[in-house]
Amino acid sequence: MNGGIRFDSVTVAYDGNVVLDSLDLTVEPGEVMALLGPSGSGKTTALRAVAGFVRPASGRVFLGDRDVTDLPPYRRGIGMVVQQYALFPHMRVEENVAFGLKAQRGRAKVPKAEIRTRVAEALEMTGMAAYARRHPRELSGGQQQRVAIARALAIRPGVLLLDEPLSALDARLRSGMLAELARLHRELPDVTILYVTHDQVEALTLADRIAVMDRARLQACGTPRELYRAPANEFTASFVGNANLLPVTVGSGGVAFGDGELKVETAGAAPGAKATLCVRPHLVGLGDGPNRLAGRVGEIQWRGATHRLYVDVDGGHRVMADVRELKDPPTHGDSVTLHFAPEDATLLPAGVTDA
């Protein structure tokens, strides 16, 4: 079964407390959709509604054209990987991977020969074929996560749910697993993947589209490039990448900030309206140029190839600038001038966070 995922006004509440509010979202067949947001935003609840572990108070969940809202988890044909792996410690790797095939209910039993074939395929695909006879305690965290993914893939699901699958790994292992997940998606282009994470790097790296969640509601949805370059609101701008968000007032040929004016595109914004100007740190330069911002260095961080400057500019706002590594960087309290090009700024509605 395949055909994507559709949330039709799905609301989930616990003891009257709404934890997912009227979610309308479609994940296309074969697409990787990341649900990105902070803790308590509703992203894991949305995934659990697809899996069948929570019951919506209202709305419907579809897999393809099939309404699965009332079906138990084992009848949905879904593979799922959680952050704690959930491997059986007394079973060898191959037995863990075979478990889902042997435990399937509501459909014909999978023949033993086919189980062996599928287990071998899943272990080969995840690079764990050489570890088939080991127990989970004999594996690293990254290897255990590969086994959990192999177990989910062995049932050949049309939909794969990944709930913070890399959060328990260190930075080096996480980077390697991101590459492996990207490779798996290339090898399994027909599998629809819903990926829950609070890590923007994971979402930007893996997802075809990102659904940004906050306070139980969908805030924005789009491709990583769309959300990064043209965020819909302040929350999306600050959560998808780093952002400088400056309160401004729309003028006739730009915006007023502090005691000066900045030249930016204001099409569609009414003169006199309050707005927020979004500029990404890597687009802010050090020195003279268009849209000058004068201030004093509040903090400076060396990041290898770059320096990040935190500059307190007019109006009491702190602006981040990521610049190429400086041979003679300024120090705390030094006066500096920053600049950015008009085309590198995006005008957002002031204080609006609901999509």
pLDDT number for residue 104: 65
Radius of gyration of the CA atoms of the chain, in A: 24
Q: Give the whole-angstrom CA distance, residue 133 versus residue 139.
A: 11
Q: Give the whole-angstrom CA distance, residue 272 versus residue 24.
A: 34
Burial class (CB in 10 A: 0-12, 13-18, 19+), 287: exposed
pLDDT at 84 over 80: no
Average pLDDT, the chain: 91
pLDDT at 10 over 90: yes
pLDDT at 352 over 70: no
Token reading at 55: 């019951």
pLDDT at 97 over 80: yes
pLDDT digits (tens, 9 = 90+) for 246-292: 999 999 889 999 888 999 999 888 999 999 999 999 999 999 999 99
Higher pLDDT, 170 or 297: 297
pLDDT at 351 over 70: no
pLDDT at 119 over 60: yes
pLDDT at 226 over 50: yes
pLDDT confidence band for 354 (50 / 70 / 90) = very low
Q: Are 119 and 38 in contact (CB under 8 A)?
A: no
* Segment (H or E) for 298: strand 293-302
Q: Are 121 and 132 in contact (CB under 8 A)?
A: no
Q: Are 277 and 255 in contact (CB under 8 A)?
A: yes
pLDDT confidence band for 236 (50 / 70 / 90) = very high
B/e letters for 17-27, b = 16+ CB within 10 Å, e = fewer, are: ebbbbebebeb
Token reading at 299: 């903090």
Q: What percent of the chain has pLDDT over 70?
A: 96
pLDDT confidence band for 353 (50 / 70 / 90) = very low
Burial class (CB in 10 A: 0-12, 13-18, 19+), 34: buried
pLDDT at 227 over 50: yes
Q: Give the whole-angstrom CA distance, residue 53 versus residue 32.
A: 21
Burial class (CB in 10 A: 0-12, 13-18, 19+), 57: middle
Q: Which residues pair with 337 in a beta bridge?
A: 294
pTM score: 0.87
Side-chain-side CA neighbours of residue 39 (13 Å): 1
pLDDT number for residue 107: 57
Segment 300-327 mean pLDDT: 93
First to last CA, the chain: 32
